[in-house]
């Protein structure tokens, strides 16, 4: 069984920064992809960033150049550094991993960007 626990969300002003963390327990291997998704009120959940075993990363266009995903395999933790935050980044952010045949999700952490 795999559990994902996010932390680091909060209220931040436009232009500010936050770092989200996702601690994984269970059978997580360095080759497993791990990602961050977000869901704003009234919208579908969308991919923000993903890191694949070997260091490959992928970002959604709205966050390119502002967000950075990284992982510490020794700690089974994935991070999302968010800079230059905008009000449209406001959402619940979820950590995700896929270990065949199951997709696992964390409980989510709220990020609110507002002045």
pLDDT at residue 30 is higher than 90? no
- What pLDDT does residue 92 have? 98
CB atoms within 10 A of CB 69: 22
Output the average pLDDT for the chain.
93
- What pLDDT does residue 99 have? 85
What Å distances lie between residue 43 and 12, 39, 40, 91, 103, CA to CA? 21, 6, 5, 10, 21
């Amino acid at each position: 069984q795999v559990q994902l626990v996010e932390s680091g969300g909060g209220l931040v002003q436009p232009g500010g920064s936050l770092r989200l963390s996702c601690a994984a327990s269970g059978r997580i291997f360095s080759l497993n992809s791990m990602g961050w998704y977000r869901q704003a009120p009234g919208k579908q959940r969308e991919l923000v960033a993903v890191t694949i075993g070997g260091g490959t990363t992928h970002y959604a266009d709205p966050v390119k150049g502002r967000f950075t995903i990284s992982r510490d395999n020794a700690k089974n933790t994935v991070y999302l550094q968010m800079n230059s935050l905008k009000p449209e980044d406001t959402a619940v952010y979820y950590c995700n991993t896929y270990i065949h045949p199951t997709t696992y999700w964390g409980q989510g952490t709220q990020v609110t960007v507002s002045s």
